[in-house]
Structure 1
Amino acid sequence: MLVVDKLTRRFGANTAVDSASFSVDRPMMIGIIGASGAGKSTFLRMMNRLTDASEGVLRFEGRDVLTLKGRDKRRWQSNCAMIFQQFNLVPRMDVVSNVLHGALARRPVIGTLFNLYPRDDIHRAIDILDRLGIAGHAAKRAEALSGGQQQRVAIARALMQDPKVILADEPIASLDPMNAQIVMEALRRIHDEDGRMVIANLHTLDTARRYCDRVIGMRLGRIVFDGTPEQLTTGVARDIYGAGADFSEDATSTEIRDPAAVARTEIRQARVSV
């Protein structure tokens, strides 16, 4: 489904992503972890074609998306929705209009200039907001919402594109633990219920373990780990982050771990070990 082969991005003498290679044979929820500057964001931006690659291949369903131009490139960007850490909403615009922006690629320019949308699109936008638990805020300005609510609006806007892939660049980095959990559960539910591929850059190991089917670790632009959440041990994490023996992942945690969630994780790990 997705083949990344020796994908590289250089900025002058600096190599942000260095010959990254991996493949995905079915829709999965994938977490990419690594220290700041490891190349995580650059990789997602290349995949969405916000940044050009210096070399390599990135093939989705048999088509090299790095070669797409014009309308084909825009169509790919519609199929590969991007969610950003800082939400990228229009603050003074109401929530439902922000969500409707996800349909811009499919609508005539003249209608969008005057903020005119078909009734079906409006109903669909409200349905998506309802699915994410924030339909009651549809008429409010985006700036009136909390950070976690704004990030769910950004997710709703991405779903409005009806993408095959959702890329999330540090989607919970600026959120408190409660909202971080709500956002990650929403992304996981979208993957489970819709069968969409979700690739998220994450900065906490427990989040990657809890929500992802597969974890990729990057260090200095290179992929240094590719495995299951159960294989992401503290020792492996030290290698990914280039940390010493005093490294403690507890200090990076933003997760609220209720007893039921802990029990589910322990049961899953026990099954794998058996």
Structure 2
Amino acid sequence: MLDVQGVTRMFGRKAAVDNISFRIDRPAFVGIIGRSGAGKSTFLRMMNRLLDATAGEIRVDGRDVLSLKGAEARAWQSHCAMIFQQFNLVPRMDVASNVLHGILNRRSTLQTLFNLWPRADILKALEILDRLGIAEQAPKRAEALSGGQQQRVAIARALMQDPKIILADEPIASLDPMNAQVVMDTLKRINVEDGRMVIANLHTLDTARRYCDRVIGMRDGRIVFDGTPAQLSTGIAREIYGADASFNEAATSTAIPADTSPDRSYADLMLS
């Protein structure tokens, strides 16, 4: 289903993503973990065609999506929905309209300008919001919602596209633990119930262990681990995150435990 071969992205002389390859044969929930700067977000943005790759192929059902141009590339983006850490909603627009914006590329300029939507699309948007437990928020401005609710609106917008694959770039990094759980539960339910592949960049091993079928660990642009959550040992965690990583970075993670004394390594904190 998804075949990544030799994908590289250079920024000047630095490889943000360095010749990575892996294959996913079923609609699994895949977590990509690693420190900030490991190349996780760069890879997702290449897959969604927000960034061009320097080299390599990303084949979905046999078609190299990195070679698509123009209308074909835009069509691919509708089949590969992206969820961002900061939601990327239109704050002053109502929730239902934000969800409908998931299919903007299928509408004419005139329809978009006057915010004209077919009844069937409006009903579909409301049905998705109801499924995610936030239908009552449909008429409210997006900016009036909590962070967790806004992220569920972003997920609803992604579902409006009816995508084959959902990419989630640090979807819970800015949320408190309770809202983070709600968002992750929602993504997992979509994966299981809809049979959609979900690829999520995650900070914490605890989250990866709880929700993922498969985990890919990246460090300095390269894949240093590819296996099941059960295979994430202390040694592998240290290889991914580094034994000498700063305490401050670990302290910003959603699921950091109470005991965070500065003499503990980043890997030790992640494994607590």
The reply to whether TM is greater than 0.5 is yes
Report if the CA contact (8 A) 1:203-1:252 is conserved: no
Q: How far apart, CA to CA, are the structure 2 residues paired with 1:12 and 1:256? A: 35
CA contact (8 A) 2:173 2:253 kept: no
Superposed CA deviations along residues 177-196 of structure 1, whole A, max 9, x for unmatched, are 00000000000000000000
Cα distance between partner residues in 2 of 1:194 and 1:172 = 21
| Correspondence 1:184-199 to 2 at 5 A | 184-199=184-199
Partner of 1:228: 228
**1:83 Cα deviation after fit:** 0.3
Deviation of 1:255 (Å) = 4.6
Structure 1 partner of 2:163:
163
How far residue 113 of structure 1 moved from its aligned partner, in angstroms, is 1.3
**Aligned residue for 1:99?**
99
- Identity across aligned pairs (percent)? 76
Deviation at 1:108, TM superposition (A): 2.2
1:83-119: CA deviation from partner (whole Å, max 9, x where unpaired): 0000000000000000000011222221111111000
Q: Which amino acid aligns with 2:100?
A: L
Report how far residue 220 of structure 1 moved. Answer: 0.1
Letter of the 1:173 counterpart: A
Partner of 1:62: 62
Counterpart of 2:267 in structure 1 is none
Residues 12, 253 of structure 1: CA spacing in aligned structure 2 closer, same or farther, 3 A cutoff? closer
| Residue correspondence of structure 1 range 23-34 to structure 2 within 5 A | 23-34=23-34
Whether the 8 Å CA contact 1:177–1:256 is kept in 2: the answer is no
- Aligned mates of 1:158, 1:182 — CA distance in 2: 17
Match of 1:12 in 2: 12
Q: Deviations over 1:116-171 (max 9, x none)?
A: 10001000001100111100000000000000000000000000000000000000
Q: CA deviation at 1:251?
A: 5.9
Q: List aligned pairs for 1:250-261, cutoff 5 A.
A: 254-255=254-255
Note the 1:45-194 alignment, pairs <5 A.
Answer: 45-194=45-194
Gaps of 5+ in 2: 258-272
| RMSD (CA atoms) | 1.9
CA contact 1:30–1:200 (8 Å) conserved in 2: yes
Match of 1:269 in 2: none
- Deviation larger for 234-243 or 158-167: 234-243
Give the equivalent residue in structure 2 for 1:240.
240
1 CA distance for matches of 2:39 and 2:253? Answer: 21
Q: TM-score, normalised to structure 2's length?
A: 0.91
Residues 58-78 of structure 1 show CA distances to partners (whole Å, capped at 9, x for unaligned) of 100000001001111011000
Which SS does the other structure have where 1:71 is aligned? Answer: helix
Q: Secondary structure, in 3 states, of the residue corresponding to 1:82? A: strand
Aligned partners of 2:256, 2:203: CA distance in 1, in Å? Answer: 15
Name the counterpart of 1:260. Answer: none
Say if 2:5 and 2:20, in contact at 8 Å, map to a contact too: yes
CA contact (8 A) 1:178 1:256 kept: no
Separation in 2, partners of 1:138, 1:246: 42
Structure 2: which amino acid aligns with 1:36? Answer: S
> How many residue pairs align between the two structures?
256
Q: CA deviation at 1:241?
A: 0.8
CA contact (8 A) 2:208 2:215 kept: yes
Letter in 2 for 1:195: G
TM-score calculated relative to the size of structure 1 = 0.90
For residues 34-70 of structure 1, what are the alpha-carbon distances to aligned partners after superposition, in whole Å with 9 as ceiling and x for unaligned?
0010000000000000000000111000000010011
